[in-house]
């Protein structure tokens, strides 16, 4: 079985909500079914411990981030933090959820392809992926840690920026216990 090839991210970079109709009558729905997202876990690490610092990985632009990109980033962050500071010295949360369905109106290429397809007569397209709509300044990931893991988390967030399709920023907050 051949693997499904992903379309380029630039095809979906526009940050606008497509018209999606969900009706109580199934035949009037525009979206019949949405594929399952690939994000396995949204919370990792030690959730019971009280930590001193909160570190946020934030987006510096408005865009769509696919579910496979979010999952790849989550795996890379988790793997690196477990290796550097251990499983009990941090708590990581994924702060975005992929709700937005991305469609693709497949077009044939080559000679005499116009006889096979309907072209733009029915351009709504089939749903291929799901993505998270992210606004500028939105937190993508949040990690909680103590002083010994602060620099490791900050460096890890900067290192995984290549897995995300946007420029990122890292914000550090000290948690006050009053």
Report the CATH number at residue 73.
Answer: 3.90.1170.10
Residue 160 lies in a domain: yes
Flag whether 135 is in a domain.
yes
* Residues spanned by the domain of 61: 42-102+124-178
Cβ-contact 125, 19 below 8 angstroms: no
| Residue 153 falls inside a structural domain | yes
165 located within any domain:
yes
Residue 37 has what pLDDT?
86
Strands 139-145, 43-45: pairing kind:
unpaired
Residue 134's closest CA among 171, 173, 93, 97? 97
Number of domains the chain contains: 1
Residue 66 lies in a domain: yes
CB 131 within 8 A of CB 104: no
The tens place of each residue's pLDDT in the chain, 178 residues long, gives 455 677 777 776 666 666 566 667 777 766 777 788 899 999 999 999 999 999 999 999 998 999 999 999 999 999 999 999 999 999 999 999 998 888 777 766 666 655 556 666 656 677 888 899 999 999 999 999 999 999 999 999 999 999 998 899 999 999 887 6
Q: Classify residue 31: in a domain, yes or no.
A: no
10 Rama sector, left if φ>0, alpha if ψ -120 to 50, beta otherwise = alpha
d(CA 56, CA 32): 36
89 within domain boundaries: yes
Residue 88 in domain: yes
């Amino acid at each position: 079985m051949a693997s499904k090839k992903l379309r380029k991210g630039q095809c979906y970079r526009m940050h606008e909500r497509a018209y999606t109709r969900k009706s109580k009558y199934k035949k009037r729905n525009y979206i019949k079914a949405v594929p399952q997202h690939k994000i396995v876990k949204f919370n990792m690490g030690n959730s019971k411990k009280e930590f001193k610092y909160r570190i946020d990985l934030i987006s510096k632009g408005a865009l769509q981030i696919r579910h496979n990109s979010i999952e790849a980033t989550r795996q890379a962050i988790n793997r690196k933090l477990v290796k550097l500071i251990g499983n009990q010295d941090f708590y990581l949360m994924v702060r975005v959820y992929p709700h937005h369905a991305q469609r693709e109106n497949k077009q044939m290429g080559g000679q005499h392809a116009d006889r096979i397809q309907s072209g733009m007569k029915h351009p709504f397209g089939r749903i291929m992926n799901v993505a998270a709509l992210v606004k500028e300044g939105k937190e993508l990931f949040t990690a909680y840690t103590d002083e010994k893991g602060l620099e490791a988390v900050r460096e890890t967030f900067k290192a995984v920026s290549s897995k995300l399709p946007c420029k990122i920023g890292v914000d550090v907050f000290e948690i006050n216990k009053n």
